[in-house]
Structure 1
Amino acid sequence: MAAPCYLGWDFSTQQLKVIAIDEQLRVVYEDNVHFDKDLPEFKTQGGVYIHSDRLTVTSPVLMWVKALDMILEKMKSSGFKFSQVRALSGAGQQHGSVYWKKGSIEILKNASSKLPLHQSLKACFSVSNSPIWMDSSTASQCSALEKAVGGAQHLASITGSRAYERFTGNQIAKIYSQNPEVYMQTERISLVSSFAASLFLGAYAPIDYSDGSGMNLLQIWEKVWSVSCLNACAPGLEEKLGCPVPSHSVLGPISPYYSQRYGFSPDCKIVAFTGDNPASLAGMRLQEGDIAISLGTSDTLFLWIQEPTPALEGHILCNPVDSQTYMALLCFKNGSLMRERIRDDCASGSWDEFSKALSSTVAGNNGNLGFYFDVMEITPEAVGIHRFNRDNQKVSDFPKEVEIRALIEGQFMAKRIHAEKLGYKVNSAAPKARLI
């Protein structure tokens, strides 16, 4: 008999990934479907459609379903033994939303195992192109939501974040205001994560606390929907969202569709899916006091926090590992592209030269400090290059090695300051910072 294994799925922006691990956490299988390359019929770029207003960004829901069909067929043809899978879970890109048309639950529950799932579900979505995290077309809905609940800080105190254009509540409000008939035809609204779990469950999967706290709708302290936020977005919304659940909830057994078509055990359990950022915190196995820093195009900070203080910058989400605690998330847009630009300007495009210049200067940079924002920053909302000498006077330039240290120290100082604003406490024992 084959050894038990567990599947993890990642419904991300540009691809669908799957990984199988055994009981010793060893990877025994992995594969992916790249949306642009493997599903060219959807004509996406980077997995998305950028609309003519440049603000609206969506992805086709059926592309995600077809990608799942494709990857399962690839696994089947490779001889993967689905019968050994004991449980599966996964993550979805945060803030994307899926709108199920009335009557879809019956189609989902009774999908024929003789057909690929995307064929059964092709008429199930009242909105065929899902708004995703890159969308920034809901400025007026954000203003209305903040006004309805008594201001940006009050909204942050309830939901963990001020109103953000990509957050699901504001996206729902836009759909309701522009297409009320489409909203009325919708019986369930999922996040990408709970949508993905629903495909495996053969029923509408609940939204988990952690991904749910990135919607501007969930009271993060009580873990229930905020009536005032729901009412500000659209009527009858609570019923369409269902009841949120802890991120580690076992939702039930896999749909018979998968047992019949692929040979999954009927006892295979579906564990709630969550957002990609909470999944990163769980996957890094962070504990209280840890910081994880992802140095990417944008720099992202994950923090495990016991007693958060929601602010106008950054986000407080429910912790996916421990429902009684929280995670803070800070995003800085001027990340690796900013570092690469200074590397090119001051170190001839060489990271080795950059590192040597950094090592040649002392910690604290003799009081020279810089803040570098080539594009409008998220945290804080600022743009431009701002240099200060040891006397706190603004200056127009630094020597190259001073510039490099000013950039790095300024970036990390900003991360610490904004983390502390959200409630992170730096204790005397140096906290562990994990770079990913």
Structure 2
Amino acid sequence: MAAAQDCSLFLGFDFSTQQLKVVAIDGNLNVVHQNNVQFDSELPEFRTQGGVHIHADRLTVTSPVLMWVQALDLLLDKMKKAGFDFSRVRALSGSGQQHGSVFWTRGASETLQHLDPDQDLKQLLQDSFSVLDSPVWMDSSSRRQCDALQEAAGGAQRLAHITGSTAYERFTGNQIAKIRATRPEEFQSTERISLVSSFAGSLFLGGYAAIDYSDGSGMNLLDIRSRTWSQICLDAVAPQLDLLLGNPKPSSSILGPVSSFFVQRYGFSQSCRVVAFTGDNPASLAGMRLQQGDIAVSLGTSDTVFLWIEDPHPALQGHVFCNPVSEHAFMALLCFKNGSLTRERIRNECAGASWELFSDALRDTPLGNGGNIGFYFDSMEITPPAVGVHRFDPQDVQVSSFSPQVEVRSLVEGQFLSRRLHAERLGYCIIPGARVLATGGASSNKEILQVLSDVFNAPVYTIDVSNSACLGSAYRALHGLSAESGTSFSDVAKNAPEPQLVATPHAEAQEVYDLLLQRYARLEERVLQKTRP
């Protein structure tokens, strides 16, 4: 039995913005194959830049759906030429860029069920879409529809309470409303609406794949607590929209066997199962193997925070999604625009452009920075919506400058106090055993991570997430086979590489930062009142 398990493979696909990637793992979670297709360079006929078409209004951003189809043809052909043995694949799953939507035309379901293995998918499906260019996450052209949805739901906070987020232009419900208003003929000829994730799952299934709870909660349409479509939101977007969306399903669902097209064309086993596909952010949470109480902080150009939460409190900033690996939990996502570029600016101005001197400043200043607090929003921040640099002394008096060393610690502490404050407002709480998983460029700086550990009063680990969405999808494929019997995702993924412990909080950290967080919250409100238009 063990030998059979060792021979089994599990595939994870990621239909991302700029490329299609795949990772194959064995039953022990070892990566045995990786491959990809770059859209711009390998499929130049679609004339994308960064995988998208940016339209004349600069607000409308789309991707050609047939490009994704042809990319799958090309990727599987690459794997076949590399000698990949598809017959060993027991299950597959995948992810797609969140918020993108695919509009299937009438008759597409019949086409999917009778694919000719002697032809490419692109040839077979070229007439299967009522909208040829799919709206994607970069689109911001649906403000009017967002306002209408929020009004129908009873306001922004009420919509966030229901769906996990206020109305965002990129979210699928608002994009559907826009297509219905501006392209009524194409909308009328639509038989099914998929997310990029469920569209990709449909290709492998040979029929329409259900939208999973986790990616579905990035649409402004799903009630995240009942895990059903919100009738208020559906009615605000289009009549009988539930018929076009189908019923959502748990993220660990086995949707069925792989289509006979893939059995005959590539040699997949008839017993290979298709596990529900999800969004790239939920798949990354699976790839990072977050557990209850964990928080992942990606320290890049923008800083992104992923949270595992049990009792969500959706707010006007941030997003709450259904958790992709635990049926009754939630995940939250926060994005902060002023990340590494701001850290680099302060390094250049206060530490002679030297990360070593920047680290020295953090080592040589006390926890809590003597009560000095700063807000550094070089560009308009997302969370909270504020701009400018604002410094406060220990008496909460605004001052024009700090000494260089105080400025360095003020920046780093302020950034992490902000991450913690807004995480807690969404329902995160620090519990015994909680971990902070750090990724991104700044996670190589041990002194920055020490401040992160102190502010959150939790140990910090570093983790490689270069292929987290793909790996998470492969882990989820394996989990899908055993989820119905009650096996947890953490049990399935226990053999994955462990993150590395890099920092533990100082003994006095909790006392210092619990008090400082309360001051930071009050001062943030002052900054917001000052900068609010």
| TM-score (norm. length: structure 1) | 0.97
CA distance, structure 1, for counterparts of residue 91 and residue 348 of structure 2 = 48
Aligned residues: 435
Match of 1:426, SS state, is coil
- Cα 1:84–1:430 shift into 2, 3 Å: closer
Task: Give 1:399 deviation, angstroms.
Answer: 2.3
Does 1:107 find its partner at 2:111?
yes
Query: Equivalent pairs: percent with the same residue?
Result: 64
Does the aligned pair in 1 maintain the 2:293–2:433 contact within 8 Å?
no
- Which consecutive residues of structure 2, in runs of 5 or more, have no partner in the other structure? 440-533
Does 1:435 find its partner at 2:474?
no
Match of 1:24, SS state, is coil
Match of 1:75, SS state, is helix
Task: Give 1:396 deviation, angstroms.
Answer: 2.2
Task: Give 1:364 deviation, angstroms.
Answer: 1.0
Match of 1:380, SS state, is coil
Task: Give 1:430 deviation, angstroms.
Answer: 6.3
Match of 2:417, SS state, is helix
Does 1:97 find its partner at 2:81?
no
Task: Quote the residue 1:196 is aligned against.
Answer: 200
- Cα 1:15–1:348 shift into 2, 3 Å: farther
Does 1:335 find its partner at 2:352?
no
**Match 1:82 to one of 79, 82, 86:** 86
Question: One-letter code of the match for 1:131?
Answer: P
Does 1:166 find its partner at 2:170?
yes
CA distance, structure 2, for counterparts of residue 353 and residue 45 of structure 1 = 39
**Match 1:413 to one of 384, 397, 417:** 417
Task: Quote the residue 2:47 is aligned against.
Answer: 43
Question: One-letter code of the match for 1:23?
Answer: G
Task: Give 1:370 deviation, angstroms.
Answer: 1.2
Task: Give 1:435 deviation, angstroms.
Answer: 0.7
Task: Give 1:242 deviation, angstroms.
Answer: 0.3
Task: Give 1:239 deviation, angstroms.
Answer: 0.4
Question: One-letter code of the match for 1:434?
Answer: L
CA distance, structure 2, for counterparts of residue 18 and residue 33 of structure 1 = 9
Does the aligned pair in 1 maintain the 2:293–2:308 contact within 8 Å?
yes
CA distance, structure 2, for counterparts of residue 186 and residue 343 of structure 1 = 53
CA distance, structure 2, for counterparts of residue 170 and residue 105 of structure 1 = 25
CA distance, structure 2, for counterparts of residue 101 and residue 296 of structure 1 = 40
CA distance, structure 1, for counterparts of residue 198 and residue 345 of structure 2 = 39
Of stretches 51-60 and 183-192 in structure 1, the one that deviates more from structure 2 is: 51-60
Task: Give 1:296 deviation, angstroms.
Answer: 2.2
Question: One-letter code of the match for 1:422?
Answer: L
The structure showing larger relative contact order (alpha-carbon pairs under 8 Å, at least 6 residues apart) is 2
CA distance, structure 2, for counterparts of residue 280 and residue 318 of structure 1 = 14
Question: One-letter code of the match for 2:123?
Answer: Q
Does 1:232 find its partner at 2:236?
yes
Task: Quote the residue 2:143 is aligned against.
Answer: 139
- Cα 1:57–1:341 shift into 2, 3 Å: farther
- Which consecutive residues of structure 1, in runs of 5 or more, have no partner in the other structure? none
Match of 2:7, SS state, is coil
Of stretches 381-390 and 1-10 in structure 1, the one that deviates more from structure 2 is: 1-10
**Match 1:317 to one of 299, 315, 321:** 321
User: What is the root-mean-square deviation in Å for CA atoms of aligned residues?
Assistant: 1.4
Task: Give 1:289 deviation, angstroms.
Answer: 0.8
Task: Quote the residue 1:71 is aligned against.
Answer: 75
Does the aligned pair in 1 maintain the 2:214–2:282 contact within 8 Å?
yes
CA distance, structure 2, for counterparts of residue 210 and residue 432 of structure 1 = 23
**Match 1:248 to one of 249, 252, 256:** 252
Task: Quote the residue 1:17 is aligned against.
Answer: 21
Match of 2:93, SS state, is strand
Higher helix proportion, which one? 2
Residue deviations 1:235-289 (CA, integer Å, cap 9, x gap): 2211000000000000000001111111111111000010111111112211111
Question: One-letter code of the match for 2:386?
Answer: A
Does 1:403 find its partner at 2:414?
no
Task: Give 1:223 deviation, angstroms.
Answer: 0.8
Task: Quote the residue 1:422 is aligned against.
Answer: 426
Task: Give 1:56 deviation, angstroms.
Answer: 1.1
Does the aligned pair in 1 maintain the 2:361–2:408 contact within 8 Å?
yes
- Cα 1:153–1:82 shift into 2, 3 Å: same
Of stretches 338-347 and 22-31 in structure 1, the one that deviates more from structure 2 is: 338-347
Match of 1:215, SS state, is coil
